[in-house]
Amino acid sequence: MAKAYTLSVLSITFFFLTFTISLSESSNGGFTVDLIHRDSPKSPLSTPKTMPFQYIHDAIRRSTLHASYFFPEADHHQSLNDVAESDVVSVRGEYVMSYSVGTPPFEIFGIADTGSDLIWTQCKPCDECYNQTAPLFDPRNSRTFQKIPCSSQQCSSVHSSVGQTTCDASSVCGYNAVYGDSSTSNGDIAIDTITLGSSSGRRVAFPKTVFGCGFSNRGTFNEKTSGIVGLGGGSVSLVSQIGSSIDGKFAYCLVPLTSDKNTSKLSFGQNAVVSGPGTVSTPIVPGRTSTFYLLTLEAMSVGDKRFEFTSSGDGAVSEGNIIIDSGTTLTLLPEDFYSNLESEVASQIKLERARVPQDLLNLCYRLPSDNSFEVPTITVHFKGADLKLNSFNAFVQVSDDVVCFAFKAYPSGSIFGNVAQMNFLVGYDLQKKTVSFKPVDCTTKM
């Protein structure tokens, strides 16, 4: 049955993390942080926009560029309508995180990326650093900084995450990280204390955390950030390194930007347990790399019309066929599957079609004067978990009177993006290897 909704601008892209938990609370099994939208005035990456809907256009461009990191072998030119050649924000992940390194703690703003593992920051003395407005971390000022030798287990762990480590004449473990937009970071692997701040003034410290001290960093990084904080599933990610203290659990709840509450939530440990009425769970499937969180998408439905998500030719569903990523805005699907889905959605919406600049999205409509229209019920059928999407999960408003389908054809691989995840409590249990979803009002949860 179709439902009537009023739509507004929706663009979950980058968030600024400010931590709101004390050390004593963390020791009891859980803590929660605020997630502030990248384009919020509170974000250190926020810049004034002359057009109010430029945010969603920027987010769409970032979304497609971010996807190239997951599927680097794909030829994206034809299917993405040259979007990847458009100007993009110089980060790959979708969160900005405030944390500290060293003793005494040195504050850093880093891109928190669920699609990578390594934590790294620009360090002095820097041979070739990109322009950074904040001071660079100087490891010589930290009493707990220690470089890692090539023979160490930590060096081997980094190699499995970034794909390339090196050794210099002093046998110090080095790294060479290459990202989807051809940005690179090179430096030394070290251990030091990572500290997460707190609004109470107390701090949560994690000694001997493995991270990269970058001395040569090039590409499209933003001058207001220093490096990346990996939150993927690999052994050197922040989530994995603090995993014993949080029981391998983290969760987030992304609010629609139209709400009066500007912050979303990211929780760890017992604060990240997702349960209760309406909760559904689906397995995390092992992949070629432990970094990405792979789920099994069995089908999608538009109203009563179901489309099976099968492998070409054999009619079977492949395990681990879609990446869930809070750092990708849109949901990206194979071209044939997307075409069938789009056609069915279009057949059930009786409004004037519209086009958007640069063909960023394919299925767009002119809104009526009251800004409402009939949206068919779209259901995502994961293995063991059916998610019914709301209007703000399925459509984004790209101008005063135009809304577009928040799904896009992609030539290689699939990603379940963050627009589709809004107003779901999404919990990752890395011990049970499950992702759980619970439909909630994220303005009141966590």
Beta bridge partners of 19: 33
Length of the chain counted residue by residue = 446
State the residue for tokens 């439902």: 3
Could you tell me where the beta strands, DSSP code E, fall in 401-443?
A: 402-405, 407-410, 415-416, 424-429, 434-439
How many CB atoms lie under 10 A from the CB of residue 300?
Answer: 25
Of residues 113, 117, 247, 429, which has the active-site annotation?
A: 113
C-beta of residue 132 within 8 angstroms of C-beta of residue 223: yes
**The token pair that represents 431 in the structure block:** 């011990």
Q: Are 264 and 40 in contact (CB under 8 A)?
A: no
CA-CA distance, 39 to 37, in Å (whole number)?
5
Q: CA–CA separation, 256 vs 10, rounded Å? A: 6
Mind giving me the DSSP string for 141-165? G-TT-EEPBTTSHHHHHHHHHHS-E
AA letter at 135: P
113 is catalytic: yes
Burial class (CB in 10 A: 0-12, 13-18, 19+), 29: middle
318-to-287, 299, 337 alpha-carbon distances in Å: 12, 11, 14
Helix %, strand %, coil % of the chain (to 5): 15, 35, 45
CA atoms within 13 A on the CB side of 358: 14
How far apart are the C-alpha atoms of 23 and 180, rounded to whole Å? 36
- Residue 72 pairs with which residues in a beta bridge? none
Which residues neighbour 314 within 8 Å (Cβ) at sequence distance 6 or greater?
Answer: none
Amino acid in position 218: R
Instruction: Give the helix/strand (H/E) hosting 238.
Output: helix 238-241
Cβ proximity of 437 and 426 under 8 Å: yes
Report, as residue numbers or ranges, the catalytic residues. 113, 325
